[in-house]
Amino acid sequence: MGNKIVNSIFCLALMFVTNELTSQITIYSEQNYTGTSRVIGIIETSTLPFNVKSIRVPEGTLVIMANESGCTGLCQYWRNNPGSGRIIGARGCNITVRRIDASDARLQITIKTGNDGLRGGSTALLRYLVNGSGYRSIRVANNGRSFANNYTFQQEYPITGIRIDQILDMALTFRSSDGSTGLFETTDNWNVDQLLVKYISRSYPDGIFLSRGSGAPLVRFTGSNPEYRIAAINSSCN
């Protein structure tokens, strides 16, 4: 009985140490994880000892730091970033490291239609790849709702339990109301001038942008162009 208790205590201690180790980030003074380095654990706030040009971030961890002198240009990092030679964390500015709480995670989707709206009954889906579990889909145009020309639509959709670092590439897809897939034009085509996708959770209630695309149009959906892809990112700056 005594050995069982000792073994249980040892296992709990090992789990605690393992969690602490995997919660540590490493910052580097040069790109590609070189130069002076410093390991930082889960903390509320600390001060950067040098200009940071690359960073290693373990799964489930969010790092917040300023990338300009004067501590402006706040950025969030949730995956490894080898850098490009530019400063991604400014010396003397605060750095915050926290575990990501995805218990109330949601995606806020904002779409601004251009001069060719989405007809009622046409389908708009946001597909996103979740690391380890495949693609998920969100139906953006609910119940066959139309989007008029120059209309801005915004809504939040729950993705409970999915961390921001688990979201990889995304795509906005379109299908005409009559199901047609003409080579170039369908019975309904759609111009999108702006697409914003924001991740919101208890870890970052103000939200983190995963997409901030805009244009005139950003994309024109037709029979030959039914999908707009959004590449995975590992950081976002305000």
Q: What is the pLDDT of residue 82?
A: 96
One domain, residues 49 and 92: yes
Q: How many CA atoms lie within 13 A of 187 on its CB side?
A: 10
pLDDT at 141: 66
Whole-number pLDDT of residue 228: 94
- Asked if 201 and 110 sit in the same domain, the reply is yes
Tens-place pLDDT, residues 75-95: 999 999 999 999 999 999 999
Residue 1 has pLDDT above 70, yes or no: no
How confident is the model over 182-225, as pLDDT tens digits? 444 456 788 899 999 999 998 889 999 999 999 999 999 887 88
Please count the structural domains in the chain.
2
- Whether residue 153 sits in one domain with residue 112: yes
Q: Are 154 and 108 in contact (CB under 8 A)?
A: yes
Report whether pLDDT(6) > 80: no
Same domain, 204 and 89: no
pLDDT of res. 142? 53
Last residue of one domain, picked from the residues 80, 99, 118: 99
Among residues 43, 75, 99, the one where a domain terminates is 99
Q: Can you tell me the distance from the alpha carbon of 71 to that of 66, in angstroms, rounded to the nearest whole number?
A: 5
The reply to whether 142 and 61 lie within a common domain is no
* Backbone CA torsion sign across 144, 181, 193, 75: positive
Q: Are residues 110 and 228 in the same domain?
A: yes
Percent of the chain with pLDDT over 70: 83
**Residue, of 114 and 1, whose pLDDT is higher:** 114
* Residue ranges making up the domain that contains 161: 106-237
Letter string b/e over residues 41-76, b meaning 16 or more CB atoms within 10 A of that residue's CB: eeeeeeebebbbbbbbbbebbbbbbbbeeeeebbbb
pLDDT of residue 128: 95
Domain final residue pick, 78, 99, 120 = 99
Are residue 36 and residue 129 in the same domain, yes or no?
no
Across 106-127, average pLDDT: 85
Same domain, 82 and 176: no
Together in a domain, 145 and 218: yes
* Residue 174 to residue 42: CA distance in whole angstroms: 42
CA–CA gap between residue 200 and residue 158 (Å, rounded): 9
The residue assigned the tokens 């979740």 is: 130
49-73 residue pLDDT tens: 999 999 999 999 999 999 887 898 8
